């Protein structure tokens, strides 16, 4: 009888773990859809010819969940290399406090996208200037950012 109960308990635990994994994947998918939507809005509203980079950040760990768009083209850094990294890995030290203050403001923000500017390190050590818009999405427990870099 105990073996039977342990077996069912293990099955229930596996099912719950699968549900958690599916929920996390769904949250990331929703965030990526939000990024696509924001990117389209940005492109349509300003009809610009800029590069667009996208970033999703966990609001609890402040680590990147995903980067995309022209990220690799502009920075030379592969997407998988950025996952589980944070702003301290991509912005100059003298800008980090300012960037984190903007992010804290975005975490407390409401329905609107807040903007800020920063520079990012490229793989070769050079810097690029990025205009960011970001928003906190409590339903995915994450922040979504769109960065624009002027072609030049």
How do residues 86-133 score in pLDDT, each as one tens digit?
Answer: 999 999 999 999 999 998 888 887 656 778 999 999 999 999 999 998
Contact 91, 55 (CB under 8 A): no
For the chain, the farthest-separated pair of C-alpha atoms sits apart, in whole angstroms, at: 72
Contact 91, 119 (CB under 8 A): yes
* Residue 27 main-chain phi, psi, to 5 deg: -60, -40
* Among 8, 64, 31, 54, CA closest to 136: 31
How far apart are the C-alpha atoms of 92 and 95, rounded to whole Å? Answer: 6
Alpha helix positions (H), 47-92: 71-75, 79-82
What are the structure tokens assigned to 131, written together? Answer: 């205009």
Which DSSP state fits 89?
G
Count the alpha carbons within 13 Å of 34 in the hemisphere toward its beta carbon.
24
Question: What is the mean predicted confidence (pLDDT) over 7-27?
Answer: 59
Does the model's pTM come out above 0.95?
no
pLDDT at position 140, please? 77
Instruction: Please say if the pLDDT value at position 71 is more than 80.
Output: yes
């Amino acid at each position: 009888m105990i073996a039977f109960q342990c077996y069912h308990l293990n099955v229930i635990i596996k099912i719950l773990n699968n549900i958690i994994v599916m929920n996390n994947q769904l949250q990331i998918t929703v965030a990526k859809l939000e990024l696509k939507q924001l990117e389209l809005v940005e492109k349509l509203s300003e009809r610009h010819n800029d590069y667009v980079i996208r970033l999703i950040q966990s609001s609890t760990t402040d680590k990147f969940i995903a980067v995309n768009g022209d990220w690799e083209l502009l920075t030379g850094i592969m997407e998988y290399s950025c996952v589980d990294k944070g702003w301290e890995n991509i912005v100059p030290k003298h800008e980090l406090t300012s960037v984190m203050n903007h992010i804290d403001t975005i975490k407390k923000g409401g329905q609107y996208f807040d903007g800020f500017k920063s520079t990012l390190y490229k793989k070769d050590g050079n810097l690029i200037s990025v205009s960011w818009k970001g928003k906190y999405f409590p339903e995915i427990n994450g922040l979504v950012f769109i960065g624009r870099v002027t072609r030049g």
